[in-house]
Structure 1
Amino acid sequence: MAHVAIDIGASSGRLIIGEIRNGKLDMKEVHRFANGFSKKNGTYYWDINHLLTEIVKGLAETKKLGFTSVTAGIDTWAVDYVLIDEQGERLQEVVSYRDSRTEHTIEKISKLISKETIYEKTGIQFLSFNTLYQLYEEKKELLEQTKHILLVPDYLGYCLTGRAVTEATNASTMQLLNIQEQDFDKDLLHLLSLKREQFPPLVQPGEKLGPLLKDRFPEYDLPDCEFFVVGSHDTASAIAGTPGFGEGWGYLSSGTWSLLGIESAKPITTKLAYEDNYTNEWGVFNTYRFLKNIMGMWVIQEVRRHLPQDYNFSKFVEEAKKVKPYQQFINFNEDRFLNPANMVEEIQNYCRETKQPIPTTAGELAACVFSNLAIIYAIAIKDLEEITNKKIDRLHIVGGGSNNYLLNQMTADMSDIPIYAGPSEATAVGNLIMQIIAAGEVSNLAEGRKLIEQSFPMQTFHSNSLNREKLIQSFQSISNRLKLTLKESE
């Protein structure tokens, strides 16, 4: 049986066919397309029609390759939503989470309900773009006209099958689900003047969504296609696609965002977890992704965009190798790096403000980004161990960032634990694994992960000797000093 992973990230999307052959998962990309947000009348929007069209084109390409009957699943980024009216029509374009409309919304809401209470209810970290804050800033007249609020992958599934659902792993990122009641929290919905019935029923990964309604797309020759619900938050799929076994393993899903954490059987909502802003996103098979959001490859993507000469990411790595690392200490988790007008200038301004060497060349900028991400990862691992009271003795790096051997080695050096890199297509792999389990080709997630381990080679990185403690102290000192300066100037 052939399965199609429809995997859409912030900068690109692709359709990948997966089949089990000779005891291994064989994958082939059949269609790739660009994605991104653009500014219109002062607001950043996604082009959701473009995404839907490209999915259908990809399915048509699948049919051309001779696959007349397939299953499919959709994953995308989290938190962004679509408003649907009584006629099933979209009420407005889809606002991007990187829009500035929620810049101060956490402060507004925390005056109405404390952050401690929100965390106790939801277990979800405080990020300015969480759906809770986006909906708080949404136009009230639009919400009053709304029949269904659908997250992006659920909306795409709705357009393709006609069935509206709320997939649980993605819904958890909204900061609206009560972690004890396993449903939308009544107090938070009341805060937003929303009704529970405006959100379609919660469903779990592995459930059948429905057949592709081919008659909606008469201009395309499409295969018979049964859609399944997968971990529709790309991180949920990525962790499902991580070959971790037993105790002591952590993961780093490295893409536009870096998500560093552990897979847990229970949520962790302690005071320390709240203070360090760790999150309890729901995972596949009733697990929890206890993790930290880190700015990730977005920084180097934006550096690339603002350099006069184009560099691919392997060229950035080669240029960074020529530069001495750890020459600047920058906390890329600060809000100023979320969506600056020019990332290169923002990095350079940070260095001026903190009286550090200013990186100018592509190699210096890349080395600066990779050095600091490695330090941030190492700090997050130590925090994770303290919060969970569990030793992390190995880290699986998956996603596109796992191909960055220089950053992998730096992460091993700074964290002083072995790094296992791969698979780079973990999100698509996890998407496919959920379909394969739902189709009965493997029995459970452990079996699925064994299949992944057999199918994809992994690179191992071990730490080298360096004064990691001094480097981490320097990073923390500069970050704390800048925070204090900003606070005094307010």
Structure 2
Amino acid sequence: MNTYVAVDIGASSGRLILGTVDEGKLNLEEVHRFKNGFTKEDGHDRWQVDHLICEILAGLEKIKARGINRVNLGIDTWAVDYVLVDEDGKKLHNPIAYRDSRTNSAVTNLTSALPREYIYEKTGIQFQNFNTLYQLYTEDKADLEKTDKIMMIPDYLGYILTGNAVTEVTNASTTQMLNLRQGLFDKDLMGEVNVEADQFPHLVEAGTLLGGVRRKWRKQYNIPETDVITTATHDTASAVVGAPGFGDNWAFLSSGTWSLLGAELNTPENGLDAFRENYTNEWGAYGTYRFLKNIMGLWIIQKVKEELNNQYSFAELAALAEKEKSFKILIDVNDLRFQNPDNMIREIQDYASETGQFVPETPGEIARAIYDNLSLYYADSVHKLSAIIGHPITTLNIVGGGSNVALMNQLTADLAGITVVAGPGEATAIGNIIVQMITTGDVKNVVVGRHLIANSFELKTFAPRKDANVDILTKYRDFLATKY
């Protein structure tokens, strides 16, 4: 059996996780963790991608120090951001982060020339001001002239490690530039942002062998012999592979910095109902589509924790929230004001004042407001999802960090009236490894991989309670419709 390494990098941290199979169970071990984040540089929020490369290699050194001489490695990161690379293979600048303010008006400006319905019919991708389409629309034209290749973040990391450049489809679809019918970058949309199709490396499916780590890195660092597999490079795509859902009536909620709630489909759904509700058809592994809704997610509580000087752990904030009365305030968690405010706590309090509601003051009240309203938004989205895809949803598989928040899981089960299965928390790394295992032949297919996951990790089930306050969901829907 092979040894696998999942490089899983999020907005605030990255990890190298070692995966092995023993007695029919997949075992994970975090061997290296490092910080990530954007910093202000040349007037923009930019990622330090050289730092990420150094940390990947440092993690591989730790693995070699254990006596492991050969590994397979897959990389997943967040979506939409990219690196501009010149003809010499050098990056022009550190890549701008999607939370940068440069795209605040980009959707409005671009769709004044191209109707939203036209773009959605082509791509099936939801409208978010940070999509790659709008980032490129605001990109420095002089830099685009110098650009030979545009590489998504995980593709760039793989390129630096191996010297081979590709564009993996699960991440590429989030650009809002892939044509659903053609399976290629859409020439009309690319023309609107002054980019040519050949500026992106060729498209490949998840599970493609990229190549071995370059000799120069093996000379500079004491690392194992490493084959890089282009896994499902968008972290949500990996998380969905790592969700142990079976049958036709399950949905997923990848609950982390972002919450991605949706269903795995074999054909895209880009009709008017999906368009009106801003659902997206991101491409998944093995010919599937992640039909989902982007929800602001645990970013809100992460910022609150930080603003409280990290004096409370997430578990402690959840415990404080459980002591508070539920649903004292209603919040549209997807309001753009919560995307990157200067102060999240003050933004929540200002929102409450402006809408004439109870103003949360204590850490427990603020945390309760966040978990209550995330659960309300999840439940509402489950119902809308079921209506759009045309069949009932009986189980919601919650994976990622949010699967550990029992309060939110139970509220979601109550409000949606469905069974919630929570776990595994490390679904993204697990899905990354499962794709690698399918590539090497250690696992036959995704279904077999999901059975391996269900057999390997503890899952918790939350059934809807009979005495739950389900009427609040109707009140919440009315609030979202009329709050302004």
**TM-score, normalised by the number of residues in structure 1:** 0.97
1:162–1:393 CA distance, 2 compared to 1 (3 A): same
User: 2:146 and 2:355 mapped to 1: Cα distance?
Assistant: 49
1:195–1:41 CA distance, 2 compared to 1 (3 A): closer
Amino acid at match of 1:408: N
- 1:323 — aligned with what? 324
The SS at the match of 1:429 is helix
The CA deviation at 1:480 is 3.1
How big is each residue's C-alpha offset from its partner over 1:109-158, in whole Å with a ceiling of 9 and x where there is no partner? 11111110100000000011000000000000100110000000000000
1:442–1:344 CA distance, 2 compared to 1 (3 A): same
How big is each residue's C-alpha offset from its partner over 1:134-183, in whole Å with a ceiling of 9 and x where there is no partner? 00000001001100000000000000000010000000000000000000
- 1:402 — aligned with what? 403
Any conservation in 1 of the 2:149–2:199 contact (CA below 8 Å)? yes
Amino acid at match of 2:31: V
Most deviating of 468-477 and 17-26:
468-477
- 1:488 — aligned with what? none
The CA deviation at 1:477 is 3.1
Is 1:447 paired with 2:448?
yes
Q: Please list every run of 5 or more consecutive structure 1 residues that lacks an aligned counterpart in the other structure.
A: 484-490
- 2:264 — aligned with what? 263
- 2:6 — aligned with what? 5
The CA deviation at 1:482 is 2.9
How big is each residue's C-alpha offset from its partner over 1:251-306, in whole Å with a ceiling of 9 and x where there is no partner? 00000000000000000011000000000000000000000000000000011111
The SS at the match of 1:414 is helix
Amino acid at match of 2:474: Q
- 1:487 — aligned with what? none
The CA deviation at 1:193 is 1.6
User: 1:310 and 1:138 mapped to 2: Cα distance?
Assistant: 39
Any conservation in 1 of the 2:69–2:225 contact (CA below 8 Å)? yes
The CA deviation at 1:311 is 1.2
How big is each residue's C-alpha offset from its partner over 1:349-382, in whole Å with a ceiling of 9 and x where there is no partner? 0000111111111111110000000000000001
User: 2:238 and 2:451 mapped to 1: Cα distance?
Assistant: 16
The CA deviation at 1:475 is 2.1
Spell out the pairing of 1:109-258 with structure 2 (5 A cutoff). Answer: 109-216=110-217, 218-258=219-259
User: 2:40 and 2:349 mapped to 1: Cα distance?
Assistant: 25
The SS at the match of 1:182 is coil
User: 2:19 and 2:310 mapped to 1: Cα distance?
Assistant: 37
The CA deviation at 1:481 is 3.0
1:198–1:156 CA distance, 2 compared to 1 (3 A): same
User: 1:372 and 1:10 mapped to 2: Cα distance?
Assistant: 23
- 2:80 — aligned with what? 79
The SS at the match of 1:150 is strand
Any conservation in 1 of the 2:414–2:468 contact (CA below 8 Å)? no
How big is each residue's C-alpha offset from its partner over 1:28-56, in whole Å with a ceiling of 9 and x where there is no partner? 11000111112234311111111111111
User: 2:42 and 2:150 mapped to 1: Cα distance?
Assistant: 23
Spell out the pairing of 1:282-321 with structure 2 (5 A cutoff). Answer: 282-308=283-309, 310-321=311-322
User: 2:220 and 2:191 mapped to 1: Cα distance?
Assistant: 44
- 1:17 — aligned with what? 18
- 2:339 — aligned with what? 338
Is 1:39 paired with 2:31?
no
Amino acid at match of 1:84: V
Is 1:435 paired with 2:436?
yes
The SS at the match of 1:323 is coil
The SS at the match of 1:95 is coil
The CA deviation at 1:195 is 1.1
Amino acid at match of 2:12: S
User: 2:50 and 2:313 mapped to 1: Cα distance?
Assistant: 28
User: 2:326 and 2:208 mapped to 1: Cα distance?
Assistant: 47
The CA deviation at 1:206 is 1.0
Is 1:54 paired with 2:55?
yes
The SS at the match of 2:370 is helix
User: 2:469 and 2:438 mapped to 1: Cα distance?
Assistant: 42
Any conservation in 2 of the 1:306–1:344 contact (CA below 8 Å)? yes
The CA deviation at 1:307 is 1.7
Is 1:426 paired with 2:427?
yes
The CA deviation at 1:467 is 5.7
The SS at the match of 2:414 is helix
Amino acid at match of 1:318: A
The SS at the match of 2:376 is helix
- 1:102 — aligned with what? 103
Any conservation in 2 of the 1:19–1:25 contact (CA below 8 Å)? yes
The CA deviation at 1:26 is 1.1
Any conservation in 1 of the 2:46–2:95 contact (CA below 8 Å)? yes
Amino acid at match of 1:286: G
Amino acid at match of 1:190: G
How big is each residue's C-alpha offset from its partner over 1:441-474, in whole Å with a ceiling of 9 and x where there is no partner? 1111111111111101100001123464431232
The CA deviation at 1:308 is 4.6
Any conservation in 2 of the 1:240–1:284 contact (CA below 8 Å)? yes
- Percent identity between matched residues is 48
User: 1:438 and 1:6 mapped to 2: Cα distance?
Assistant: 17
The CA deviation at 1:478 is 3.1
Any conservation in 2 of the 1:214–1:222 contact (CA below 8 Å)? no
User: 2:313 and 2:151 mapped to 1: Cα distance?
Assistant: 35
User: 2:314 and 2:253 mapped to 1: Cα distance?
Assistant: 19
The SS at the match of 1:356 is coil
Amino acid at match of 1:304: K
Any conservation in 2 of the 1:250–1:260 contact (CA below 8 Å)? yes
The SS at the match of 1:285 is helix
- 2:361 — aligned with what? 360
Any conservation in 2 of the 1:354–1:478 contact (CA below 8 Å)? no
The CA deviation at 1:397 is 0.3
The CA deviation at 1:413 is 1.1
User: 1:281 and 1:112 mapped to 2: Cα distance?
Assistant: 24
The SS at the match of 1:437 is helix
User: 1:406 and 1:214 mapped to 2: Cα distance?
Assistant: 50
User: 2:341 and 2:364 mapped to 1: Cα distance?
Assistant: 21
**TM-score, normalised by the number of residues in structure 2:** 0.98
User: 2:87 and 2:478 mapped to 1: Cα distance?
Assistant: 54
User: 1:375 and 1:152 mapped to 2: Cα distance?
Assistant: 33
